[in-house]
Amino acid sequence: MEPGSKVTLRWRGKILRGVFVKEDKGFIVLKLSNGYNVGIPKDEAEILSVEGREHIGKPRFHYRPVQNPDLPKVGIAATGGTIAARVDYVTGAVTAEFTVEDLVNTFPELNELATLVPRQVSNIFSENMVPSIWREIARGVYELLKESDGVVVTHGTDTMHYSTAYLSFALSTPKPVVFTGAQRSSDRPSSDAALNLLSSVYVAGYSPLKGVFLSMHESSSDGWNAVHLGTRVRKMHTSRRDTFRSIGRDPVARVYIEARGGRIVRKEFQLLDPEWTREHPLELRDHLNENVALLKYFPGMKKELFERVLLEHDGVVIEGTGFGHVREELIPLIKEAVDSGVFVGITSQTIYGRTHSHVYSTAVKMEEAGAVFLEDMLPETAFAKLVWVLGQTKDLERARDLMLTNVAGEITERSGIEWKL
């Protein structure tokens, strides 16, 4: 069997279909259509059929960029991730290999929507993202915005919401900037890459939205995509296509694209929140301080660990319990850190709901020690914001003011939807 062959086999009474990856220590390794690899003991497997190699990641179509003056111009800033990945049939792993040209070559329907302006910012899985690359993305998007009607950023899903948060602060934009990704690589038949990419290009090129957004599947099947605000979105599931959810608010818009045989047959955009069509100037404010940490408190966290994280950084966002608490014994360490110039911000590990410094005595004491309760800002958003804030000031009062100023919708109004799964 050649790597890449389509195999059907019977094992323990079950029929399994997948793509042959390799034989390893007496196991046949198959990649199933859901993207997962399984190892089947060779001597227990009855091979029923073996068909030719499946397409292994080369572009299926040849994309010729159409310079159509009637179509909007959409910048594509590619950073890597599964949307730009393919299955390596030697190792069975998914690797980030597509360049931005490969990516656009794969989806010829793009020719009907926009003239694309590609730009490769990085080619990494997003677990490898670091704040200095957030800044590169912001700079790349800023340049693309000068020559396009909107920009799509292709990105790994794992940490996409950190990047959308940073760009929401680092960039003021009069046009849509839409992040998207995929849970299944572009060369899988079950991939969500095409729909996510087409929907995002449609939003970037045609919608009245202004700001930084993230668009992915609204439900687990193909259909509508949700457009989430970049500061209020989070990856909530390891593998579902609708992994991203707006937290504490509704999505700002929805989009529907249907493509058949290389042609777009239906496209629709529904604006849900007109607030995000307000005018903004184009401005790059790419402040960055990389010496910032996000710390999840857990029962029994050692004083030494807590103290070290606080004292070795210029600022720390703590994910506290409930309204935002840490163990009482640690509170003097907060004071020590704040007194030495460290910004300490408090978010909640419940994800939903608002932090509060006046309900329990613990939080009252934490606030007295100098911790700043960050309303209902999501922990990852607060972290990205602190990277940005401490890149422009070391003054704790000024940092506190900026952290508590609603810059890009990161703090919701009290009347907002606080709980929706």
Q: Which residues here bind ligand ASP, judged by CB under 6 A?
A: 81-82, 125-127, 156-158, 181, 183
Tell me whether residue 26 is exposed, middle or buried, using C-beta atoms within 10 angstroms of its C-beta: 0 to 12, 13 to 18, 19 or more.
exposed
The tokens for 2 are: 């050649």
Round the CA-based radius of gyration of the chain to a whole number and report it.
Answer: 23
Residue placing its CB nearer to ligand ASP in the complex, 81 or 379: 81
Q: Which member of 173, 235, 314, 355 is catalytic? A: 235
CA end-to-end span of the chain: 45
Choice between 191 and 246, CB closer to ligand ASP:
191
Q: Give the position of tokens 């360049």.
A: 99
Closest by CA position to 211, among listed 235, 196, 233: 233
- 82 flagged as catalytic: yes
The DSSP output letter for 186 is T
Of the two residues 183 and 207, which places its CB atom closer to ligand ASP in the complex?
183
Rounded-to-integer distance, Cα 319 and Cα 245, Å: 19
Cα separation, 399 vs 35, in Å, equals 44
Query: What residue is closest to ligand ASP based on CB?
Result: 156
Q: How far is the CB of 181 from ligand ASP (least distance, A)?
A: 5
Judged by beta carbon, residue 226 or residue 396, the one nearer ligand ASP is 226
**Smallest gap from residue 217 Cβ to ligand ASP (A):** 12
Of 73, 79, 82, 175, the active-site residue reads 82
User: CA 379 to CA 401: how far, in whole Å?
Assistant: 18
Cα–Cα nearest to 384, from 292, 303, 256: 292
DSSP lists the bridge partners of residue 271 as 253
157 catalytic, yes or no? yes
Residue 182 beta carbon to ligand ASP: minimum distance, rounded to whole angstroms: 6
Residue reference for tokens 């003097």: 332
Only one residue has tokens 């040209």, namely 101
- Distance in Å, CB of 86 to ligand ASP, minimum: 12
**Identified catalytic residue from 158, 192, 242, 286:** 158
Output the smallest distance, CB 125 to ligand ASP, in A: 3
Least CB distance to ligand ASP at residue 255 (A): 20
Give how far Cα 155 sits from Cα of 9, 319, 330, 414, 421, Å.
35, 25, 38, 32, 24
If the CB atoms of residues 117 and 124 are measured against ligand ASP, the closer one turns out to be 124
Residue closer to ligand ASP, measured from CB, 127 or 304: 127
How far is 196 from 224, CA to CA, in rounded Å? Answer: 10
Distance CA 19, CA 37 (A): 9
Q: Quick check: 183 and 219 in contact, CB under 8 A?
A: no
Paired tokens of 324: 């935002």
Annotated catalytic residue, options 79, 106, 157, 243: 157
Secondary structure (3-state) at 39:
strand
Tell the smallest beta-carbon distance from residue 179 to ligand ASP (Å). Answer: 11
Residue with smaller CB distance to ligand ASP, 35 or 208: 35
Positions marked active-site: 82, 157-158, 235
